[in-house]
């Protein structure tokens, strides 16, 4: 009887953990209009974009305190070459220290339908989305709907950072392959990169690392 109770408790805990890690399971809003209705732009969040008439769009719509480090890398990559978009959460809110993320203004990718981003994706040939996650599967989990480009980016990251684990479609269910994901709304399906806390903390603390990593992405995007 005791073994049965222990087993049941463990099973319930595992099931709860799985539910909690599903995309959107911690979201407070079902779409962007609902988020915008309950938060103040400029106080709770800010949107920044630069349209340089490029066919490539680099986005970090879980920026600021949501998935820290993603905005900073996207900005460094775009420089003066590519189109840029970020949605930044300005409140720390419900911070999870182990994953280095905040769920307060998180809106899962397939529900992130902010109009300005939708406009940019509709005109882009290729999209790159940068995110943060707290899993142990990899330092760079390369997803998105473009299978050929996933493989190429994994090669580039592995060569540049052999001490970091880079892999393809290795952080399920956060692989970014859904058609409604903004990276796949561009003319060619794009790439989504989930970065570990170790990577994102290095982005924020080490300018040399940030410059090096942004250059790897720039060189990759220049081949498209």
39-93 per-position pLDDT tens digit: 999 999 999 999 999 999 999 999 999 999 999 999 999 988 999 999 999 999 9
Asked whether the beta carbons of 164 and 157 are under 8 A apart, the reply is yes
Q: Which residue has the tokens 């996650």?
A: 133
Q: What does the alpha-carbon distance between residue 167 and residue 137 come to, in Å, rounded to a whole number? A: 9
- Among residues 145, 218, 152, 156, the alpha carbon closest in space to that of 185 is found at 145
Q: What does the alpha-carbon distance between residue 106 and residue 89 come to, in Å, rounded to a whole number? A: 8
Q: Which two tokens stand for residue 18?
A: 């799985």
Q: Could you tell me which residues come within 8 angstroms of residue 98 by beta carbon, excluding any fewer than 6 positions away?
A: 134, 197
Q: What does the alpha-carbon distance between residue 78 and residue 64 come to, in Å, rounded to a whole number? A: 17
- Among residues 187, 47, 150, 18, the alpha carbon closest in space to that of 107 is found at 47
Helix (H, G, I), strand (E, B) or coil at 204: helix
- Among residues 48, 83, 41, 80, the alpha carbon closest in space to that of 63 is found at 48
Q: Which residue has the tokens 């969040």?
A: 45
Q: In this structure, which CATH number among 3.90.226.10, 3.40.190.10, 3.10.129.10, 3.40.630.100 belongs to the domain 25-222?
A: 3.40.630.100
For the chain, give every domain's residue range. 25-222
Whether the predicted pLDDT of 201 surpasses 70: yes
Residue 223 pLDDT class (50, 70, 90 cuts): very high
Asked whether the beta carbons of 74 and 63 are under 8 A apart, the reply is yes
Predicted pLDDT of residue 80: 83
Residue 5 pLDDT class (50, 70, 90 cuts): very low
Whether the predicted pLDDT of 108 surpasses 80: yes
Q: Could you tell me which residues come within 8 angstroms of residue 214 by beta carbon, excluding any fewer than 6 positions away?
A: 73, 76, 77, 79
């Amino acid at each position: 009887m005791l073994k049965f109770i222990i087993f049941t408790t463990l099973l319930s805990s595992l099931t709860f953990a799985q539910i909690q890690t599903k995309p959107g399971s911690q979201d407070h809003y079902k779409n962007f209009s609902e988020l915008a209705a309950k938060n103040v732009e400029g106080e709770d969040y800010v949107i920044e974009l630069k349209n340089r008439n490029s066919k490539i769009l680099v986005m970090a719509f879980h920026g600021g305190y949501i998935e820290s480090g993603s905005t900073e890398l996207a900005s460094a990559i775009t420089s003066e070459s590519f189109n840029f978009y970020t949605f930044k959460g300005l409140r720390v809110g419900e911070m999870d220290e182990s994953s280095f993320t905040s769920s307060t203004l998180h809106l899962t990718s397939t529900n992130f339908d902010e109009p300005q981003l939708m406009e940019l994706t509709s005109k882009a040939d290729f999209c790159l989305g940068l995110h943060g996650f707290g899993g142990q599967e990899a330092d760079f989990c390369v997803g998105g709907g473009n299978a050929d480009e996933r493989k190429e980016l994994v090669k580039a990251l592995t060569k540049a950072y052999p001490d970091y684990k880079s892999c393809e479609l290795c952080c399920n269910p956060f692989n970014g392959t859904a058609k409604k994901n903004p990276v796949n709304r561009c003319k060619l399906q794009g790439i989504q990169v989930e970065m570990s806390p170790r990577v994102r903390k290095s982005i924020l603390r080490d300018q040399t690392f940030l410059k090096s990593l942004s250059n790897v992405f720039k060189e990759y995007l220049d081949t498209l």
